[in-house]
Structure 1
């Protein structure tokens, strides 16, 4: 057979394995494309895509050694090279006898993504920017951000694995758009794998975690107040940093002030995303979250020192 006669010229020093190593694949080659190329030669039991620094290598494991040999032999003697999307793919035996770890949490598609944001400090990329980038692919349920040895990371929960996969396929290895980053950040690459989590436990809305499915979840006062720090202005006076969250102290209360009452008052200036009421220092306070700093500033300017009810009760 011509196929066997051609085999010695093809990596003849390698020991045959039922796992094949494929190189020079298109960037972000999909599992479906790999299977399509290999399935004429036998049953594929496992794959590992997007391997290597350029994410253009892959491993394919056949059910039987002879199936892998038949594919190597065929392309060793064929005048037509193996191709995916018009690119010539180089095939050789792997030095491993099986694909391990493919069924680990990082490779099995789930509805929660683990995103490592390389090249940034924790304060460089806000949770709102992360939400903006990932919600392009579907409704984001929850986000939790944290710092680990690997760097600044986020867990992002979608409704299903299909939506999460589409986000991962599109964004893994890419950068967050330049206009969404602070000027001092050169580039920030996203490294994305699947998390073993299926439902993130978010206890507070804060600058580190959000639950977009639960508008009644309390805002963590300490976390939000941490974003409303004061700074010293050029005139030497303390100046509050602007935030999209207002802290309202409600004084001279004569009537009950509920979330609904506050929502009615503050939504006159824009969409109110979250409201949390709590007692502090013996008084009543509330956190009101708007989508952006501008809306919050307008509401603050209009309402500060004014009354909720006619008659001068419940000033803010």
Structure 2
């Protein structure tokens, strides 16, 4: 046991046990699994201590806690979680009291405060990439508050959100996903009171990944689908099912029918939006999936609609 004493016999028995030397990110389920044979668990507190490798477990009855301590004190096999010896002692407290703020009440929507960056340093695509590692992300909304750049990330259930929170809280977004001028980007996560985000438009600030037919907000063109800057200073493009087409050398009128004819060659066109920006004509073309949009972009970019070099993409 590496010279450590698994039990301290001089402490006054309590129905709350203090467990030390836990594996990293030990969850409540693992604690309950260890303690359940000795009685009913009424409360737990995980992630305690500077290294977050300690926990408290409260039994329904004092004798149940004594039974657990007595069992492992006399056993030749120490208490273990994931093969790691767990050190058990009575706690000085007689119950676990959690003063929960609203951000500590588990929910399916996380509030992420992204420290060390400005709003334009971390794109919504990067946020989606990071949080998708733990399950399907339904919706994301980003905004700026006094606390800094923040985002709401919605999952389908509380368990997935809790896993993401426990895994990412206090961690940094990988450096290769950040612009070269950002030294560190730390995530601070809490639970939001929201249960279902109201996303009306797809834009560079909000996305609904469950609704491919949601319209793109024409007022949010600045930054929408714009690539982030990689560590090498070059722009990184993130693929999407919506293409932004800028039309140059426009000598003939470009109508919805013309655009539909051109872009339908590669698949079903769901929506088209034409607008003027900075004296030029641009259009948004929405496909049902990313591969179709990628194929159309690869085939059409730099080509002309009409012979003679007119209406260049």
Per the normalisation by structure 2, the TM-score is: 0.69
Shift of 1:288: 4.1
Partner of 1:301: 302
Describe how 1:155-170 pairs up with structure 2 within 5 A: 155-170=152-167
Q: CA deviation at 1:271?
A: 10
Hey, what does 2:209 align to over in structure 1?
212
Query: Of 141, 145, 161, which residue of structure 2 is paired with 1:144?
Result: 141
Structure 1 residue 297: deviation in Å?
A: 9.0
2: distance between equivalents of 1:202 and 1:134?
18
Structure 1, residues 59-111: CA drift from partner, whole Å, max 9, x if none?
22222233234334444565543321222223331536233256965353x33
Asked if the contact 1:205/1:218 (under 8 Å) is kept, the reply is yes
* Alpha-carbon shift at residue 43 of structure 1 (Å): 0.2
Q: Which residue of 2 aligns with 1:201?
A: 198
Name the counterpart of 1:106.
104
| Compared CA separation, residues 222 and 8, structure 1 to 2 (3 A) | closer
Aligned length: 288
Partner of 2:63: 66
Q: How does 1:9-158 map to 2 (within 5 A)?
A: 9-10=8-9, 12=11, 16-75=13-72, 80-92=77-89, 93-95=91-93, 97-101=95-99, 106-108=104-106, 110-158=107-155
Unmatched runs of 5 consecutive residues or more in structure 1: 1-5, 230-240
- State the 1:142 CA deviation: 0.8
Q: Distance in 2 between matches of 1:100 and 1:152?
A: 28
What SS does the corresponding residue of 1:203 show, helix, strand or coil? coil
- In the alignment, the residues of structure 1 paired with residue 267 and residue 175 of structure 2 have an alpha-carbon distance, to the nearest angstrom, of 28
- What secondary structure does 1:225 align onto? coil
Q: CA deviation at 1:149?
A: 4.5
Cα 1:193/1:159, change in 2 over 3 Å: same
TM-align CA RMSD:
4.5
Residues 269 and 299 of structure 1 are in contact (CA less than 8 Å); yes or no, is this contact kept in structure 2?
no
Post-superposition offset of 1:29: 0.6
Separation in 1 of the partners of 2:8 and 2:205? 57
Q: Deviations over 1:94-140 (max 9, x none)?
A: 536233256965353x3323333343332222111121223344332
Following the alignment from structure 2 to structure 1, what is the Cα–Cα distance between the partners of residues 177 and 192?
25
- 1:178-202 per-position Cα deviation (integer Å, ceiling 9, x unaligned): 3222222333343444433221111
Distance 2:254 2:96 in 1: 71
Instruction: Describe the shift of the 1:225–1:289 C-alpha distance in structure 2 as closer, same or farther (beyond 3 A).
Output: farther
Q: Which residue of 2 aligns with 1:257?
A: 256
1:106–1:193 contact (8 Å) kept in structure 2: yes
- 2:108–2:161 CA contact under 8 A, matched in 1: yes
